């Protein structure tokens, strides 16, 4: 019998020419197939204590973090010349909880690979993840750049010419909290609160900091996931090789990421190149009006000032 999925509300994004419908369930928004996958994961996923979760709101640097974490935990098996990252896009190297349950269960059986990624908000994670006290790496990014990245990605994915999709409408929806796994500020707040309640179990990484000082942040990541670099590795340049392998310049120029497709077997395949935009900080300045800046700054101040996180 076909499973029915409970939804509280649906919203068709006004700028998307009817092509993007978001589903609100448990207080956050999701696209349909991730919503269905999330419900299945909530019902059936059994975390292992050794699992490490890569958690993010879309467009905050997930692809980069997945590549780095993959390279870190597999470096005994592969180096920069043999890494699967050279021929497989990062989202296929690290499975999604909402999409790849079978692969994750296979990894559990083989005790082969600890990484799982998800866009789910903290409160929507399957309970076994919390009960097993799994480690979580959380990446976040400047909200204005996230909005622009999200808008560009969706326009390209849905094949809507930018001129037909007014940015003001996309901004307004994001500002009202309607984004994939949004509201974005609630997403951050959920993980931040959990990090206060579960010290040492949630690593917060900021996209802009990772770009500014990639080496220190990759070391933090490696230590946190239980694969710290030895001094011999540091001296041999292993960290720098991983950083180079996972750099935007390298990954975005690989054939697989220029011409390959992600989830090509589904009715919503994504061209891998869409995960690699400009990767520039401050691109928002080309899109935001003064009024938008004022509105979003005020909102972030209201929602997140207590966290000390700077967006
Ligand atoms: P832009 O759209 O601003 O260019 P996500 O992976 O969460 O979907 O986030 C996508 C953003 O990360 C895009 O930003 C993309 O260009 C950027 N990105 C992808 N790979 C990257 C890498 N290796 N290093 C830095 N940024 C990267």
The verdict on residue 55 lying in a domain is yes
The verdict on residue 4 lying in a domain is no
Cβ neighbours of residue 49 under 8 Å, at least 6 residues apart? 132, 133, 134
Task: Specify the residue with its C-alpha closest to ligand 1, atom 12.
Answer: 61
57 in catalytic set: no
The verdict on residue 157 lying in a domain is yes
The verdict on residue 2 lying in a domain is no
* Beta bridge partner(s), residue 55: 118, 138
Distance 275 CA to ligand 1 centre (A): 6
Q: Which of 54, 63, 66 to mutate to test the pocket of ligand 1 (most atoms within 8 A of CB)?
A: 63
Number of domains in the chain: 1
Q: What is the tens place of the pLDDT at every residue in 281-297?
A: 999 999 999 999 999 99
Cβ neighbours of 15 (radius 10 Å)? 20
The verdict on residue 235 lying in a domain is yes
The verdict on residue 3 lying in a domain is no
Instruction: Specify the ligand 1 atom closest to the Cα of 278.
Output: 4
Q: Which of 119, 248, 252, 280 to mutate to test the pocket of ligand 1 (most atoms within 8 A of CB)?
A: 248
Looking at residue 134, its pLDDT comes to: 98
Q: Which of 91, 253, 276, 280 to mutate to test the pocket of ligand 1 (most atoms within 8 A of CB)?
A: 276
Q: What is d(CA 153, CA 270) in angstroms, rounded to the nearest whole number?
A: 10
The verdict on residue 79 lying in a domain is yes
Q: Which residues line ligand 1 (CB under 6 A)?
A: 56, 58-64, 145, 149, 152, 246-248, 251, 275-279, 283
Distance 61 CA to ligand 1 centre (A): 5
The verdict on residue 1 lying in a domain is no
Q: What are the structure tokens assigned to 192, written together?
A: 């931040």
Low-confidence ranges of the chain (pLDDT < 50): 1
Q: What is d(CA 100, CA 2) in angstroms, rounded to the nearest whole number?
A: 19
Distance 11 CA to ligand 1 centre (A): 26
Looking at residue 310, its pLDDT comes to: 81
User: What pTM does this model have?
Assistant: 0.97
ipTM for this model: 1.00
Instruction: Specify the ligand 1 atom closest to the Cα of 57.
Output: 7
Cβ neighbours of residue 243 under 8 Å, at least 6 residues apart? 68, 214, 215, 218
Candidates 91, 119, 187, 262; catalytic one: 119
Distance 7 CA to ligand 1 centre (A): 30
Residues of the domain holding 293: 10-307
Task: Specify the residue with its C-alpha closest to ligand 1, atom 5.
Answer: 59
Distance 171 CA to ligand 1 centre (A): 19
Cβ neighbours of residue 98 under 8 Å, at least 6 residues apart? 33, 34, 37, 38, 41, 118, 119, 120
Looking at residue 1, its pLDDT comes to: 42
Q: What CATH number is attached to the domain comprising 296?
A: 3.40.50.300
């Amino acid at each position: 019998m076909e499973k029915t999925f409970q939804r509280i509300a649906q919203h068709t994004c006004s700028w998307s020419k009817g092509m993007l419908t978001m589903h609100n369930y448990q207080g956050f928004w999701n696209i349909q197939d991730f919503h269905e996958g999330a419900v299945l994961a909530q019902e059936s996923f059994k975390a292992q204590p050794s699992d490490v979760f890569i958690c993010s709101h879309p467009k905050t640097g997930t692809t980069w973090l997945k590549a780095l974490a993959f390279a870190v935990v597999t470096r005994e098996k592969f180096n920069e010349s043999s890494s699967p990252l050279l021929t497989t896009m990062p989202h296929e190297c690290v499975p999604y909880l909402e999409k790849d349950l079978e692969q994750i269960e296979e990894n559990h059986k083989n005790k082969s690979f600890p990484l799982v990624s998800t866009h789910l908000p903290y409160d929507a994670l399957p309970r076994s993840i919390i009960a097993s006290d799994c480690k979580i790496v959380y990446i976040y990014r400047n909200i204005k750049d996230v909005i622009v990245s999200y808008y560009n990605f969706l326009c390209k994915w849905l094949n809507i010419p930018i001129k037909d999709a007014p940015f003001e409408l996309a901004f307004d929806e994001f500002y009202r909290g309607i984004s994939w796994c949004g509201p974005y500020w609630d997403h951050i707040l959920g993980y931040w609160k959990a990090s206060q309640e579960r010290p040492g179990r949630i690593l917060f990484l900021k996209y802009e900091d990772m770009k500014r000082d990639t080496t220190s942040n990759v070391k933090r990541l490696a230590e946190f996931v239980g694969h710290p670099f030895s001094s011999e590795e540091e001296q041999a340049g292993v960290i720098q090789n991983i950083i180079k392998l996972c750099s935007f310049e390298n990954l975005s120029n690989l054939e697989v990421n220029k011409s390959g497709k992600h989830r090509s077997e589904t009715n919503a395949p994504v061209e891998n190149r869409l995960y690699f935009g400009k990767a520039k900080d401050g691109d928002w300045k080309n899109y935001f009006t003064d009024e938008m800046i004022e509105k979003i700054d005020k909102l972030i101040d209201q929602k997140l000032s207590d966290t000390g996180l700077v967006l």
